[in-house]
Amino acid sequence: MRKIKFRAWDYYGKKMYEVDELSFDDDGTIHGLLKDDYYGRVYFNEDCTDDGEPEYFILMQFTGIQDAKRTKEFPSGKDIYENDVLPEGRVFWSDEWGGWFVDNDEHEEIRPLCEIKEPVVICHIYQRPELLEG
């Protein structure tokens, strides 16, 4: 069974957090606890309605796949999350096709993530957005 987990990008603080807990209200508010090296755990809540304003925390789901690069820190490979950037493009979830896909910024090629033989995470789009600029 695939492990369900999330991470959260602090849009204003420019820091990635591992999500410890999540809950959702009927009105569209997300509540969560983030793991933090300094504070221990950080509480947040977000209105997840699309009002055009950037949210304070941007949630990204784990795809269930690790990349092919093995290191001492990641002996099984680094976890691949949505919005990670691979040499082939950005990882995203498609409701229409029901799966994880990778596309380049021009949408010239969209491929299922599972078809990439040895995916390698370069970074996530919030670290280096220029990698996806045309």
- Confidence check: pLDDT of 59 > 90: no
Single pTM value for the model: 0.82
With respect to residue 35, please indicate whether it lies within any of the assigned structural domains. Answer: yes
Q: Final residue of a domain: which of 44, 59, 74?
A: 59
Boundaries of domain holding 97: 61-132
Q: Final residue of a domain: which of 59, 77, 103?
A: 59
Beta-strand (E) ranges in 26-130?
Answer: 29-36, 40-47, 57-66, 79-81, 84-86, 89-94, 99-103, 110-112, 123-124
Residues 55 and 65 in one domain: no
Residues 22 and 52 in one domain: yes
- Confidence check: pLDDT of 48 > 60: no
With respect to residue 112, please indicate whether it lies within any of the assigned structural domains. Answer: yes
Domain count, the chain: 2
Task: Say if residues 89 and 132 touch (Cβ distance below 8 Å).
Answer: yes
Residues 127 and 69 in one domain: yes
Residues 82 and 98 in one domain: yes
- Confidence check: pLDDT of 28 > 80: no
Residues 80 and 50 in one domain: no
Query: Which pLDDT band holds residue 105 (cuts at 50, 70, 90)?
Result: low
With respect to residue 74, please indicate whether it lies within any of the assigned structural domains. Answer: yes
Residues 41 and 67 in one domain: no
